[in-house]
Amino acid sequence: MLKFDGKIWINVYDGEGSTDGAAGAAGAAGAAGAAGAAGAAGAAAGAAGKFSQEDLNRFLANEKRKWNEQKQTLVDELEALRQKSNLTDEERQALDGRIEALNTEMMTKEQLAQRERDKLEKGYKQQVEGLTLERESWKSRYTDATIVRAITDAAVLSDAFVPGQIVAIVRPQTRLVEELDGEGKPTGNLIPKVTLEDKDKDGKSVTLELSPVEAVKRMKEMDNYLNLFKGEGTGGIGGMNRGGSTKQQDVKSLAKDPARYREARKTGKLNF
């Protein structure tokens, strides 16, 4: 039985080796020359077809646009996720930070500068609004305290039963105005003034601008407010009898004369 040992024998004759070697050398030299020529040609072609600055800018702009579109898609997804009600405060805060960071990355230098200006302007407006509200609050407190104190003092001076009742009636018609001196010039001081509706001697309606003391004193003389003030007499429950005369009033005759009846109430001779 024949056995193949895996070797192949080739016959070689004298002179053939040197010829093949020369051919191999020639082939190698040809290949090298062809490669060199191809390289030179590629370099020349590359030099002739290189990108201009405009091409480069356009390419970068397209890449940035694609990248921003991807970021915007991600922002939209995060915004949708943020709307879910089952998020914790910590998770919602983390999403807000991520969304803010992505939005910042997509902004140009001009947009970033504009956002910073808007932020500073908004902060300034909020500060001004806060100071304005605080100022108005203190102004309102000062105005109210000054007016209430002046009316209360006037009510006590005019012997009102309950000064708080006088305050409730007079306060809505009272404001602070600038005080004027004898020549009609502003002094810089603020004083309370009451707008009181009254009637003149002819019975015509008039509007008076009075100090709280003057206004409350006038109210004490008006029929509509007689029951709010103490009388000057000594008789009757609570000192309601007014006037020092002990002469019994002829109620029947007064009832027939409205003018006398009002005068009797006004002077304190009647308390009904």
Q: What is the pLDDT, as a whole number, of residue 254?
A: 58
Q: Which residues contact 228 (CB under 8 A, 6 or more apart)?
A: 160, 161, 162, 165, 166, 219, 220
Q: What is the pLDDT, as a whole number, of residue 255?
A: 57
Q: What is the pLDDT, as a whole number, of residue 29?
A: 46
Q: What is the pLDDT, as a whole number, of residue 226?
A: 87
Query: With the CA atoms of 148, 151, 153 and 156 taken in that order, what torsion angle do they form, in degrees rounded to the nearest 10?
Result: -120
Q: What is the pLDDT, as a whole number, of residue 115?
A: 80
Q: What is the pLDDT, as a whole number, of residue 4?
A: 42
**Alpha carbon of residue 65 to chain centroid:** 36
Four-residue CA torsion sign, 67, 71, 72, 74: positive
Q: What does residue 199 show for φ and ψ, rounded to 5 degrees?
A: -125, 145
What does the DSSP assignment read for 7-65?
Answer: -------TTHHHHHHHHHHHHHHHHHHHHHHHHHHHHHHHHHTPPPHHHHHHHHHHHHH
Q: How far apart are CA 150 and CA 213, in angstroms?
A: 8
Q: What is the pLDDT, as a whole number, of residue 270?
A: 59
User: Is residue 251 within 8 Å of residue 180, measured between CB atoms?
Assistant: no
Q: How far apart are CA 28 and CA 270, in angstroms?
A: 144
Residues 75-113 have pLDDT tens digits of 777 777 777 667 777 877 888 888 888 877 777 778 778
**pTM (predicted TM-score):** 0.48
Of 171, 172, 176, give the one whose Cα is nearest residue 190.
Answer: 176
Q: Which residues of the chain have pLDDT under 70?
A: 1-49, 84-85, 232-257, 261, 265-266, 268-272
